[in-house]
Chains A and B, each alone.
Chain A
Amino acid sequence: MRGVSGDPEFDAVYRANVAIVWRYLRRAGVPESMVEDATQEVFLTYHRRRDDFRGASSVRTWLLGIARGVASNVRRGRQRFLRRLASRRALPDPPPPESPEQGAARAQACALVEAFLITLSEPQREVFELIEIEGLKQREVAELLELSINTVGSRLRAARAAFAAYVGSLTKAEVAHG
């Protein structure tokens, strides 16, 4: 621990990466009811181990590597792990409500993207999500997934082409139907 009077470095890393980690965990199969705890587990692990971080990869890649392990533990349903997570329930202040229109429109757009993601093969989907949704670089994905950068590039290219065709078909259909 780096002191009890705040930890700006930790907070900055958290704020810059929390959404990415959250989405990654959800996509990796962590149930919605557990993603809050699992996200905290990722960052607490980062906090505990950050002195070991050598800078060979980006912090983001490192965090996603931790998230991968956490998701794996959650999926396997390790009881001890689950109990540990359950003991760390966050403060119980409910989140503020959002506008119904905002939520509905976002849900609609999200459904369109998810309908596309389902159609991808697992390898293509993982690469597409990490690069196009989470903004990782190809070399980061290659490192995270232990693939060659050429493999990442070819999967990305195929997935991007499919997504472009998908969006094109949606737009075309929309125009055709007024």
Chain B
Amino acid sequence: MAELPESLGTEAEALLAAYRVHRGPPLGMEARMLASMHAQLGLVPGTGGGASAGAKTATSGTATTGTATTVGAGVVSGKLIALASTLALTVASGAGVLASRSPSEASAPGAVPIAEIEAPASLLEQPSEPPDVKDLVLEPELADEESPIEAESGAAGRGRQARLRRKPGRPRSSGGLAEEAKLLRSADSALRRGALGEAQDLLERHRSGFKAGELGQQARALELLLACAQGQPGASQAAVDHLEAQPSARARARIERECGID
């Protein structure tokens, strides 16, 4: 078996670091849960970190567990990279500190508590300029009105790979993209656990709520997967057409497998 490289690369690690923070407990939640558990367990905080340490953890943000890896400030450049890295970097003495995933075991009592790690929340106090996230959008893939099955013959002409590009004239909010991603993630989750009705509802919500959505390709892939899972007539053929129209579709392997395409 070939050895895996140690690192995915700075940009990828920075994106994942931002993801860890965003998907972690909200600010203040760690301390709140710890205090609640102390109360349920009849523990009095204070002698060993208790709730007060939990509060410290919370003020350091929704920290990822991990060690701090110092990287040169000049290593990271570009908007995408700046976007992710600004989220995960703290500037200390002219160098960025990337909150990276921890390769260390967290099992032993006395392991470094995350309260001691430079955490992204400290960015709130950083004077560094935030990235221009408005310049980063994902291009929608398909027209909105057709269902994935009905659209099979037309997909070839319209299918376009989702990609980043500037759309200076187009008002957008990153909250909208986040909402859209959340909705699709929920649909994906429902699909993966076999809750097809729920997945269908969520995808219909996506179709009606994000007609100019920026994750159209992902939505389209999920619709095809749903149609195949439901055994809809023509679903496999629609999947074939979709993949022919989009040879670089990122969900190709999954669609091929779940739609039974050889």
Binding site for B on A (CB under 8 A): 1, 3-20, 22-23, 26-27, 29, 36, 39-40, 43-44, 47, 58-60, 75, 88-91, 93-99, 101-102, 104-122, 132-135, 137, 150, 153-154, 156-157, 160, 162-164, 166-167, 169-171, 173-175, 177-178
Contact = CB atoms under 8 A, between A and B. Distances in A.
Contact of A174 (B4, B78, B108): B78
A156 B86 CA distance: 27
A170 B80 CA distance: 8
Given A19-B62, A156-B4, A162-B250, A108 B36 contact: no
Contacts of B110: 12
A109 B175 contact: no
A108 B174 contact: yes
Nearest to A32: B182
B27 interface: yes
B48 A95 contact: no
Contacts, number: 292
B232 interface: no
B222 to A, nearest CB: 7
Interface string B218-230: 1001100000000
8 nearest interchain CB pairs? A8-B48, A95-B28, A6-B47, A59-B107, A107-B178, A109-B18, A90-B36, A135-B101
Interface string B41-73: 111111111100110011000111110000000
A150 B1 contact: yes
B184 A167 contact: no
B22 interface: yes
B231 interface: no
Of the four ranges (under 10, 10 to 19, 20 to 34, 35 or more), the interface on chain B belongs to 35 or more
B209 interface: no
Interface string B245-262: 000001101100100000
A19 B65 contact: yes
B27 A133 contact: no
Contacts of A106: 18, 21-22, 87, 120
Given A109-B19, A133-B101, A91 B48 contact: no
Contact of A111 (B12, B86, B87, B181): B181
Given A15-B30, A19-B30, A111-B177, 4 more contacts: A27-B189, A58-B106, A106-B120, A177-B166
B162 A115 contact: yes
Contacts of B111: 12, 16
Contacts of B120: 102, 106
B109 to A, nearest CB: 4
Contacts of B34: 11, 14-15, 18
A159 B34 CA distance: 35
Interface in B1-36: 1-2, 4, 8-9, 11-12, 15-16, 18-30, 32-36
B105 A6 contact: no
B39 interface: yes
Interface in B74-94: 78-81, 83-84, 86-87
A18 B25 contact: yes
